[in-house]
Structure 1
Amino acid sequence: MIQRLVKRALCALLGVACLALSASCETNNPEQQIETVRIGVATYRSDDTFITALCDDLERVSKQMESETGKKIILNIADGKNSQSNQNDQVDNFISRSYDVICVNMVDRTVAAVIIDKAKRADIPVVFFNREPVEEDIRMWDRAYYVGTDAKESGIMQGQIILNALKKDAGIDKNGDGKLQYVMLEGEQAHQDSLIRTEYSVKTITAGGVQMEKLANDTANWQRSLGTAKMTSWLDQFGDEIEVVLSNNDDMALGAIDALKAQDMLENGPVVVGVDGTLAALEAIQNGEMLGSVVNDAQLQAQAMLDIACALTEGSDPQQVVEGMNGQYVRAPHRIVTKENVGQEIAYLTQSE
Structure 2
Amino acid sequence: MKRRAKILLIMVMMVVASACVLTACGAKSASGEEKPVIGVILYKYDDTFMSFVRKAIEASNHNSATIEMKDSQSSQTMQNDQVDTMIANGVKALAINLVDTQSASTIIEKARAADLPVVFFNKEPEASALSSYDKAWYVGTTSAEAGIIQGEMMAKMWHDNPFWDKNFDGIVQYVLLKGEQGHPDAEARTQYALEAMANKGLMLEALELKAGRWESEKGKSMMEDWIAKHGDAIELVISNNDNMALGAIESLTAHGYFDQGQYMPVFGVDALPDALEQIKAGKMAGTVLNDAKNQGKATFELTYNVAMGREPLDGTNWKFDENKAIRVPYVAVTIDNIKFAAEAYK
Cα deviation per residue 1:226-271 (whole Å; 9 max; x = unaligned)? Answer: 0001000000000111111110000000010011011112342320
Q: Please point out which of 322, 335, 346 is paired with 2:331.
A: 335
Q: Please point out which of 294, 298, 308 is paired with 1:314.
A: 308
Cα deviation per residue 1:101-124 (whole Å; 9 max; x = unaligned)? Answer: 111111111111000000011011
Question: Going by fraction, where is helix more abundant, 1 or 2?
Answer: 1
SS in structure 2 opposite 1:93? helix
Maintained 8 Å contact 1:294/1:337:
yes
Aligned amino acid, residue 192 of structure 2: Y
Maintained 8 Å contact 2:118/2:135:
yes
Maintained 8 Å contact 1:181/1:213:
yes
Cα deviation per residue 1:124-171 (whole Å; 9 max; x = unaligned)? Answer: 111111111111111110110111101100000111111121232111
Aligned amino acid, residue 136 of structure 1: S
1:155-304 equivalent positions in 2, closer than 5 A = 155-267=147-259, 268-304=262-298
Whole-Å Cα distance in 1 between the matches of residues 295 and 52 of structure 2? Answer: 11
Maintained 8 Å contact 1:243/1:269:
no
Aligned amino acid, residue 37 of structure 1: P
**Shift in Å at residue 94 of structure 1?**
0.8
Whole-Å Cα distance in 1 between the matches of residues 28 and 106 of structure 2? Answer: 37
SS in structure 1 opposite 2:167? coil
Q: Please point out which of 91, 94, 101 is paired with 1:99.
A: 91
Structure 1 stretches of 5 or more lacking a match?
A: 1-28
1:30-69 equivalent positions in 2, closer than 5 A = 33-63=32-62, 66=63
Structure 2 stretches of 5 or more lacking a match?
A: 1-25
Whole-Å Cα distance in 1 between the matches of residues 339 and 120 of structure 2? Answer: 31
SS in structure 2 opposite 1:62? coil
Whole-Å Cα distance in 2 between the matches of residues 286 and 35 of structure 1? Answer: 47
Cα deviation per residue 1:277-323 (whole Å; 9 max; x = unaligned)? Answer: 11111111111110010111011111111221222133322256541
- Aligned-residue identity in percent: 36
The match for 2:341 is 345
- Change in Cα spacing, 1:30 to 1:229, as seen in structure 2 (3 Å) is closer
Maintained 8 Å contact 2:28/2:35:
no
**2:317 aligned with 1:325, yes or no?**
no
**Shift in Å at residue 175 of structure 1?**
1.4
1:138-149 equivalent positions in 2, closer than 5 A = 138-149=130-141
* Greater relative contact order, per chain length (Cα 8 Å cut-off, separation 6+): 2
Maintained 8 Å contact 1:279/1:349:
no
Aligned amino acid, residue 341 of structure 2: E
Whole-Å Cα distance in 2 between the matches of residues 293 and 334 of structure 1? Answer: 10
- Which one is further off, 175-184 or 34-43? 34-43
The match for 1:9 is none
Q: Please point out which of 101, 104, 125 is paired with 1:133.
A: 125
Whole-Å Cα distance in 1 between the matches of residues 292 and 320 of structure 2? Answer: 16
Maintained 8 Å contact 1:240/1:269:
no
**Shift in Å at residue 350 of structure 1?**
4.2
Whole-Å Cα distance in 1 between the matches of residues 48 and 28 of structure 2? Answer: 36
Whole-Å Cα distance in 1 between the matches of residues 103 and 344 of structure 2? Answer: 33
Whole-Å Cα distance in 2 between the matches of residues 266 and 225 of structure 1? Answer: 20
Maintained 8 Å contact 2:27/2:34:
no
Whole-Å Cα distance in 2 between the matches of residues 311 and 183 of structure 1? Answer: 44
TM-score under structure 2 normalisation? 0.88
Whole-Å Cα distance in 2 between the matches of residues 221 and 161 of structure 1? Answer: 24
Greater Cα radius of gyration, structure 1 or 2: 1
The alignment's C-alpha RMSD in Å is 1.6
Whole-Å Cα distance in 1 between the matches of residues 27 and 296 of structure 2? Answer: 28
Aligned amino acid, residue 121 of structure 1: A
- Change in Cα spacing, 1:60 to 1:31, as seen in structure 2 (3 Å) is closer
Maintained 8 Å contact 2:38/2:304:
no
Whole-Å Cα distance in 2 between the matches of residues 80 and 205 of structure 1? Answer: 37
- Change in Cα spacing, 1:141 to 1:30, as seen in structure 2 (3 Å) is closer
SS in structure 2 opposite 1:102? strand
